[in-house]
Amino acid sequence: MDNPADFEAILRGPDAYRLARSALDMMVRYKVWPTPLNYELWLHYSANPKSALGQEIDRLIAAGDPFTEATCESLAATFLPKAKLNEQIRDAGDQLSRELDTVSRAIQAAHASSKAYGVTLADASTELAHNSDPSTLRPLVANLSDATRLVEEENKALQKQLQESTKEVHQLRDHLAQVRRDATTDALTNLGNRKAFDTELRHAHEVAERSGEVLTLAVVDIDHFKRFNDTWGHQTGDQVLRYVASVLGRVGAPPRFAARYGGEEFALIFPGETAANIHSMLSDVLKEIASRSLRRRSTNEELGAITVSASVAELKNKETAHTLLERADAALYDSKRAGRNRVTNAEGSPGEAAA
């Protein structure tokens, strides 16, 4: 039921009211504000609990994570962008089509008037060839001058119309670029979202396979984030996500790629870099994070330092992107099990330095 048309059909089908009730019941149970966006999310969940969105909501419920505004926004940006994107692209397409109509009408009008001007010139030329009476020259010249002025005015109007249309088209292009950015950005942290990460990993994997270049993947997860959230509240939890994201965004700047993969988990892609180098770089990042003491904005209370766990995995020969990610996930689990605040190499080489 990933097809928006199927979803629309369900909303008008025999199950519509049952699904609406189920969505609202769940929103009450999980303390989700009944905003239109949240309702849309939960309606999708009720209609298809096995979808990617359903699985992510199930994961959040199982982890006891709250459905904060930021979480819901991030879910919508990741799992509902298609419908929104389609709508925005359709709007932009309609606007573009109206703009093209206007330009086309203006060009047709200019063409008609330049044709009429050509006829006037031809008539004047015939008149001049057959009629040498100077008294008839005055109205002929006046006629030509009127026709020339008319064409000049129409040319000016056309030029103005084209300038306005060019401006509109540029604005539309910027708007579409923004829509595209929004659809691939995590609203809370401004890093790429999971969808963007999947696309980027697929691309990096293809390039690495084709070129034979090395490719490394890292996964980073905030330690005891749930406990932190429960102690200090979700708003402060969101700030911690933003802080870790700002550090990872810095080290994951292009040509690298950093994304919020879900909840408190981040993923980074390092094309052309070895796991050994990334391991050492991330160890420094972990030290930097652990040594910074955060403060609660509302009360200025000392929150203490937070730590993160990480893993790195280097692409093996003929390995799929999916398996690479699985190995990185497994190594992250090893980092957690070994006491957190450390980087583990996916190959599990002994003696990987703790941060």
- Helix runs in 48-136, H state only: 52-63, 69-79, 81-130
**Which CB, 81 or 249, lies closer to ligand C2E?**
249
Long-range contacts, 287-294 (Cβ 8 Å, 24+)? 287/355, 288/247, 289/244, 289/247, 290/341, 290/355, 292/243, 294/239, 294/240, 294/243
Residues at the interface with ligand C2E (CB under 6 A)? 236, 239, 242-243, 246, 294-297
Q: How far is the CB of 263 from ligand C2E (least distance, A)?
A: 17
Shortest distance (Å) from residue 178 CB to ligand C2E: 20
Kindly report the number of other CB atoms within 10 A of residue 163's CB atom: 10
**Cβ atoms within 10 Å of 215's Cβ, excluding its own:** 25
Which residues are part of the catalytic machinery?
264
Beta bridge pairs of residue 309: 221
24 Rama class: left (phi>0) / alpha (psi -120 to 50) / beta: alpha
CA 245, CA 236: separation in Å to the nearest integer? 14
How far is residue 340's CA from residue 222's CA, in Å, rounded to a whole number? Answer: 9
Q: Which is nearer to ligand C2E, 191 or 204 (CB)?
A: 191
Residues 160, 163, 167: CA angle, nearest 5 degrees:
140
Q: Which is nearer to ligand C2E, 245 or 275 (CB)?
A: 245
HSE (side-chain half, CA atoms, 13 Å) at 189: 31
Q: How far apart, in Å, do the first and last CA atoms of the chain sit? A: 45
Give the shortest CB-231-to-ligand C2E separation in angstroms.
13
Instruction: Write the CA distances from 143 to 140, 149, 150, 213, integer angstroms.
Output: 5, 10, 11, 74
Nearer to ligand C2E, 224 or 297 (CB): 297
Minimum CB distance to ligand C2E smaller for 156 or for 297: 297
Q: Which residues partner with 218 through β-bridges?
A: 268, 312
Least distance (Å) from ligand C2E to the CB of residue 171? 28
> Minimum CB separation from ligand C2E for residue 241, in Å?
8
Q: How far is the CB of 228 from ligand C2E (least distance, A)?
A: 11
**Choice between 115 and 292, CB closer to ligand C2E:** 292
